[in-house]
Amino acid sequence: MKKFDFLTKTLVDSFSYTTSTQDRETIAKERINGRKYLKFGTLQAVTIVGNLYEDCDGNRILMCGVSKQHPCDSKCDKQLAYETAQAHALFCPDIVINTVPKYMNKVNFRKMMEWYVDSMDLCFLKTTQEIINSGDDPKKYNR
């Protein structure tokens, strides 16, 4: 790992990746009382923002923030998701890549984040009945 000087870093580029515009419908196998069921539903939306920095020695570092949609919110606010992911990238990054090649671009970033999101453990968005059964009030969420 190269030594990175955080005091002299400059922002080189900023990338973003989101699944909010993609088809997130999926099927999951579930076992209830010994019986197997198929559960159909929509997965949470994920937004990732990556900030690429370079220090005075030419070392590059990529800091990424992740934002996930709450399972009780069926409506996805893209602007809020982007702002939350950007704040995470600045203050408490979820992903830090220390040795970033010079040819890093938005296509490479999106491909890496696509693999990362595919490996995440995402929840289904809850239906109104599931929210009521959990003892929560569905009016609290932006449905």
Q: What is the pLDDT tens value at each position of the chain, 143 positions in all?
A: 567 777 888 999 999 999 998 888 999 998 989 999 999 999 999 999 999 998 888 889 999 999 999 998 888 889 999 999 999 999 999 999 988 888 889 999 999 999 999 999 999 998 888 888 887 777 777 65
* Domain map (residue ranges) of the chain: 6-140
* pTM metric for this prediction: 0.87
3-state helix, strand, coil in the chain (%, to 5): 25, 35, 40
- In order of 34, 39, 50, the CA distances from 30 in angstroms are 10, 7, 35
| Whether the Cβ atoms of residue 63 and residue 89 lie closer than 8 Å to each other | yes
Rounded to an integer, what distance in angstroms lies between the CA atom of residue 71 and that of residue 141? 10
Backbone angles phi, psi at 131, to 5 degrees: -65, -45
- Cα angle for residues 18, 46, 51 (degrees, 5° grid): 60
Rounded to an integer, what distance in angstroms lies between the CA atom of residue 138 and that of residue 61? 42
